[in-house]
Amino acid sequence: MARYGLNLGDKMDIVGKQYRILNDVIENPAEQLGELTFIEKVRDNLVYEDDLSQPNGDGTYRQVATGEMLGFDVALRSKVHKQVFVTITDMPLSAFNDLGIKFGDKVSLNDIVVTYSQVGSGEAKLFASSISKVGGQPQAPKPKPEQHNEQK
């Protein structure tokens, strides 16, 4: 039987949800976004589970964080699209904090994935493996304080 309509790509599991990948139909996503400047880190994407020790009166359970993080969201200003939200998936939060990115700093995204999900508002969602500061000097590691070992 013939299939009609757009092929929006295969589904992929990203941060625990299924998304259709649009990278095959969008030429160079980085160019489509234009120059990006950092606004703020919005939130951490934490894994939650039911706390089975204390049921609510309606039969549901309170959600508690497991401590596992699936990434974090950042808000960026794009000259093309005004404000965009991107989920950073493969960068530890400590590495992000070490970059010292502040409001207004120019940034670039690595390994951008543009996705589409029909659930909810049906809008595209952006993911990137990591974020980096553009034109900035990489921060040197902080020197460790010297340890004095006295021998007798």
Q: Which domains, ranges and CATH numbers included, belong to the chain?
A: 11-53+60-133 (2.40.50.390)
SS3 152: coil
Q: Which residue has the higher pLDDT, 119 or 10?
A: 10
CA distance 19 to 61: 28
The rounded distance, in Å, linking the Cα atoms of 115 and 22 is 5
**Percentage of the chain with pLDDT > 70?**
79
pLDDT tens sequence across 31-68? 888 899 999 998 888 777 888 888 888 888 888 887 77
Per-residue pLDDT of 106-128, as tens digits, reads: 999 999 988 877 666 667 788 89
pLDDT at 4: 63
Residue 136, SS3?
A: coil
Q: Which helix (H) or strand (E) holds 66?
A: strand 61-78
Does pLDDT of 9 surpass 50?
yes
pLDDT, one tens digit per residue, over 123-152 is 778 889 999 998 754 444 444 445 455 554
Asked whether the whole model's pTM tops 0.75, one would answer no
pLDDT in tens, 70-111: 889 999 998 887 888 999 998 988 899 999 999 999 999 999
